[in-house]
Amino acid sequence: MSVEQARAELERLAELLGAANLAYHTEDAPELSDAEYDRLKRRNAAIEARFPDLKLDESPSDQVGARPAEGFAKVTHAVRMMSLGNAFEDEDIAGFDTGIRKYLGLSADAPLAFTSEPKIDGLSLSLRYEGGKLVQAATRGDGSVGENVTANARTISDIPAELQGAPEILEVRGEVYMSHADFAALNARQEAAGDKTFANPRNAAAGSLRQLDSEITRARPLRFFAYAWGEVSEQLAETQMGAIVRLHELGFETNPLTERCSRPAEMLAHYRAIEAQRATLGYDIDGVVYKVDDLALQGRLGFRSTTPRWAIAHKFPAELAWTRLEAIDIQVGRTGALSPVARLTPVTVGGVVVSNATLHNEDYIAGRDAKGGEIRGGKDIRIGDWVQVYRAGDVIPKVADVDLSKRPEDSAPYEFPHLCPECGSEAIREEGDAVRRCSGGLICPAQAVEKLKHFVSRAAFDIEGLGAKQVEQFYADGWIREPAEIFTLQERYGSGVQQLKNREGWGDKSASNLFAAIDEQRSIAMARFLFALGIRHVGEVAARDLALHYGSWEALTAALDTARPAALAHRAADEAEEGERLAAEAEGRRARISETRAAAQAAHAVPDEAASAWADLIGADGIGPILALSISDALANDHERAAIERLVAHLTIIPPDAPAADSPVAGKTVVFTGSLEKMTRAEAKARAEALGAKVAGSVSAKTDLLVAGPGAGSKAKKAAELGIETIDEDGWLALIGDA
């Protein structure tokens, strides 16, 4: 779209939406359907995002009094709702304590207290109070944006409508759940009425809270425990425990099993005590949550991308059952991985019926681990075997063990396929990889469909109305074969003989909603876009790191194209190194790694600019050679690159927000070296990134600043040679205003 077209379109949309607003509010006769109205608004917002300078003073985006969206309105959380990291073993808890001490620079015997409380198996809810009044209740959603369920929350008796003596702004967070007794009674009522019953109390709670008619929610006995908070205009207390006590005084239910523990041994003792009471609590819990008690330390520890550093969930052990393995199916994933799935005679494991479980990979079936060692005492798994199934929380059930005494006499070892069951291409297992992969790429329908499913998934394009099921159907019918075709769906099937709205399962409204949802995502954040491409090793965190490092899609592709010869040289060196290791092992001598790598590199002519682009890529925070090679390969593959270019033609890729553009270190590449005394390395890195700096591990011509503490060695020397500014820790703190 040209600038002129955009300007004209924004004016047209402002006019249309203005007229529609008037008709809606003054006459009781809306001119546009809700879906069409929403579609136009989204189109307006998308064009504004692409051409911010063209936004009209009286932009429809800024007008209030818009109509409520269908279903639940979206709520952007003032403070993101995070999830929790998991721990399963006792040792993990000591590790959690040690990791925190390390991050904070605390010695092993410095006091460090934690709270310990049950992890409620329900769904989280954020309640916003302003001036002591409940003004909004929102579900977690994707953590940033949830659904507005205020009317429903008001029907829950554990949720006060008004608070006395609360901070002016207070967001209380906690878990909505259903007790065992209420769950059983609800299912009995549902069954008697011929309505669907729920598989477990959590599903019942979620289904009840997300009712469009709040009178239905009122009839469902939901409860609420408060355990955290979001935005607050004044601190609730100085400690987690103090804050929980305060929330209780304000009128919230808080869990009576919450305790303060001063060391890991006490945390584990409390865990055991809670576990012993699990069956008699009357509601589902799936573990114990530990949180650093001191809120100032919580603040220093901060968050990783989706979880706090100051809390962890210690999950209860898995639940077990025995059943028969009826068959082994092979599923082909997005990156071509062949995954064996156990088809089981259905069995109840911890209250849930399980009929499928993962078998991981071919080694696991054969009774070997990745290094060739024995697992399960070397017992292999065969079709017809009697197997032990276990599940932990919401983790996919696994086949854990096999009972050889019940093995049928005519059973045979399972032969893992060497051809892709979906497209017949050869399935190759590379050296060092536990997984066998289909080599068919996009000609393999399973890979293509899985890539599409990933593309539309929540953390990627998140297109409402286009989920895994729809993608499968569209693919099967040839309507959508690759991501780019999602964005031409309306052109091709919006009107004419073959129309989306005439397809089974689709109507006028759902079709126009889908087109609108697709339009809405024509502008997409760079990190989401990169993640959506489904390139191996490029997960959400790596996608964000790449977006932050390069700032635009054009810069990223230009850098990768320039770096390609160096990427190939790197791979050649890796392969040569592996060969040398094997040869050395066979000959009983020491491997000559660096000479071998150097020779392999030298055999590839790598221009200087390629070497420097490659060094910049693998030196970027969070990006190593494995990821770098993977994305380099993807973009150097003609088919894949062409498919990506076809997609990009339909999109506006929004550069990442610079975390703090006005800080003195924003956009600078900083390296820390030597020992730091006032903060740990991890803390320094997190702080620098929050201020918009890039933190690199090694000094290069791209480094802007070296922060060198005592004991700085070769990095300081290199920085001096390159004329790079070098300051000490105090200088750094003064620079960023933390001194």
Identify the residue among 308, 333, 656, 692 touching ligand IVH (CB under 6 A): 308
Site for ligand IVH in 404-443 (CB under 6 A): none
Q: Which residue do the tokens 């635009």 mark?
A: 552
Side chain identity at residue 12, one-letter code: R
**Angle formed at CA 585 by CA 583 and CA 587, multiple of 5 degrees:** 70
Closest to 716 measured CA to CA, from 673, 665, 668: 673
Q: Which is nearer to ligand IVH, 310 or 455 (CB)?
A: 310
CB 317 within 8 A of CB 278: no
Binding status of residue 313 toward ligand IVH by CB under 6 A: yes
Cα gap 226→174, rounded to integer Å: 4
Q: How far is the CB of 84 from ligand IVH (least distance, A)?
A: 4
Q: Which is nearer to ligand IVH, 172 or 438 (CB)?
A: 172
Cα-only R_g, the chain: 29
Q: How far is the CB of 313 from ligand IVH (least distance, A)?
A: 5
Binding status of residue 146 toward ligand IVH by CB under 6 A: no
Q: Which is nearer to ligand IVH, 59 or 306 (CB)?
A: 306
- CA–centroid distance for 562 within its chain: 30
Identify the residue among 20, 104, 127, 311 touching ligand IVH (CB under 6 A): 311
Q: How far is the CB of 171 from ligand IVH (least distance, A)?
A: 12
> Residue 728: is it exposed, middle or buried by C-beta count within 10 angstroms (0-12/13-18/19+)?
middle
How many other β-carbons are positioned within 10 Å of the β-carbon of residue 723?
8
Binding status of residue 126 toward ligand IVH by CB under 6 A: no
Q: How far is the CB of 235 from ligand IVH (least distance, A)?
A: 16
Q: How far is the CB of 13 from ligand IVH (least distance, A)?
A: 38
* Stretch of 60-68, 81-89, 156-164, 406-414 lying at the interface with ligand IVH (CB under 6 A): 81-89
Q: Which residue number places its CB atom closest to ligand IVH?
A: 124
> Site mask, ligand IVH, residues 576-615, x = CB under 6 A?
----------------------------------------
Decide if 119 is catalytic. Answer: yes
Q: Which is nearer to ligand IVH, 82 or 466 (CB)?
A: 82
Cα gap 640→617, rounded to integer Å: 21
Site for ligand IVH in 174-213 (CB under 6 A): 175
Q: How far is the CB of 207 from ligand IVH (least distance, A)?
A: 16
Q: Give me 635's structure tokens.
A: 């973009």
Q: How far is the CB of 270 from ligand IVH (least distance, A)?
A: 13
- CA–centroid distance for 705 within its chain: 32
Pairing of β 523-525 and β 652-654: parallel
Q: How far is the CB of 172 from ligand IVH (least distance, A)?
A: 12
Site for ligand IVH in 472-531 (CB under 6 A): none
Q: Which is nearer to ligand IVH, 256 or 507 (CB)?
A: 256
Side chain identity at residue 128, one-letter code: R
Which member of 41, 119, 451, 694 is catalytic?
119
How many other β-carbons are positioned within 10 Å of the β-carbon of residue 596?
20
Q: How far is the CB of 311 from ligand IVH (least distance, A)?
A: 5
Residue 492 CB partners (closer than 8 Å, separation 6+): 479, 485
Q: Give me 481's structure tokens.
A: 């074969």
Cα gap 602→606, rounded to integer Å: 8
* Stretch of 79-87, 578-586, 655-663, 670-678 lying at the interface with ligand IVH (CB under 6 A): 79-87
Q: Which is nearer to ligand IVH, 228 or 301 (CB)?
A: 228
Cα gap 18→283, rounded to integer Å: 51
Q: Which is nearer to ligand IVH, 75 or 735 (CB)?
A: 75
Binding status of residue 289 toward ligand IVH by CB under 6 A: yes
Closest to 123 measured CA to CA, from 45, 51, 204: 204
Q: What backbone torsions phi and psi does residue 117 show, to the nearest 5 degrees?
A: -155, 160
CB 438 within 8 A of CB 447: yes
Cα gap 556→712, rounded to integer Å: 32
Host H or E run for residue 171 = strand 169-177
Secondary structure of residue 57 in the 3-state scheme = coil
Q: How far is the CB of 117 from ligand IVH (least distance, A)?
A: 5
Host H or E run for residue 329 = strand 319-332
* Stretch of 270-278, 306-314, 352-360, 501-509 lying at the interface with ligand IVH (CB under 6 A): 306-314
Site for ligand IVH in 666-725 (CB under 6 A): none
Q: How far is CA 689 from CA 294, 615, 699, 732, 739, in A?
A: 24, 20, 17, 14, 18
Residue 244 CB partners (closer than 8 Å, separation 6+): 115, 226, 227, 254, 258
Q: How far is the CB of 241 from ligand IVH (least distance, A)?
A: 13
Site for ligand IVH in 213-272 (CB under 6 A): 227-228
The β-bridge partners of 474 are none
Q: Which is nearer to ligand IVH, 72 or 227 (CB)?
A: 227
- CA–centroid distance for 568 within its chain: 31
Q: Which is nearer to ligand IVH, 247 or 311 (CB)?
A: 311
Cα gap 100→441, rounded to integer Å: 43
> Site mask, ligand IVH, residues 148-177, x = CB under 6 A?
---------------------------x--
* Stretch of 78-86, 421-429, 489-497, 639-647 lying at the interface with ligand IVH (CB under 6 A): 78-86
The β-bridge partners of 706 are 671, 726
Site residue total, ligand IVH (CB under 6 A): 14
Q: HEC string of 383-418?
A: CCCEEEEEECCCCCCEEEEECHHHCCCCCCCCCCCC
Q: Which is nearer to ligand IVH, 291 or 522 (CB)?
A: 291
Site for ligand IVH in 82-121 (CB under 6 A): 82-84, 117, 119-120
> Site mask, ligand IVH, residues 437-476, x = CB under 6 A?
----------------------------------------
Cα gap 105→115, rounded to integer Å: 20
* Stretch of 307-315, 474-482, 518-526, 575-583 lying at the interface with ligand IVH (CB under 6 A): 307-315
Q: How far is the CB of 145 from ligand IVH (least distance, A)?
A: 15
Q: How far is the CB of 291 from ligand IVH (least distance, A)?
A: 7
Q: Which is nearer to ligand IVH, 293 or 362 (CB)?
A: 293
Q: Which is nearer to ligand IVH, 123 or 442 (CB)?
A: 123
Q: Which is nearer to ligand IVH, 228 or 330 (CB)?
A: 228
Binding status of residue 37 toward ligand IVH by CB under 6 A: no
Helices (H) and strands (E) in the chain, counts: 26, 24
Which spans in 338-486 are helix H?
362-366, 445-456, 468-476, 483-486
Q: Which residue do the tokens 């392999």 mark?
A: 600
Q: How far is CA 430 from CA 197, 427, 624, in A?
A: 47, 10, 19
Closest to 250 measured CA to CA, from 156, 150, 161: 161
Site for ligand IVH in 346-405 (CB under 6 A): none
Identify the residue among 124, 208, 513, 562 touching ligand IVH (CB under 6 A): 124
Binding site for ligand IVH (CB under 6 A): 82-84, 117, 119-120, 124, 175, 227-228, 289, 308, 311, 313
* Catalytic positions: 119
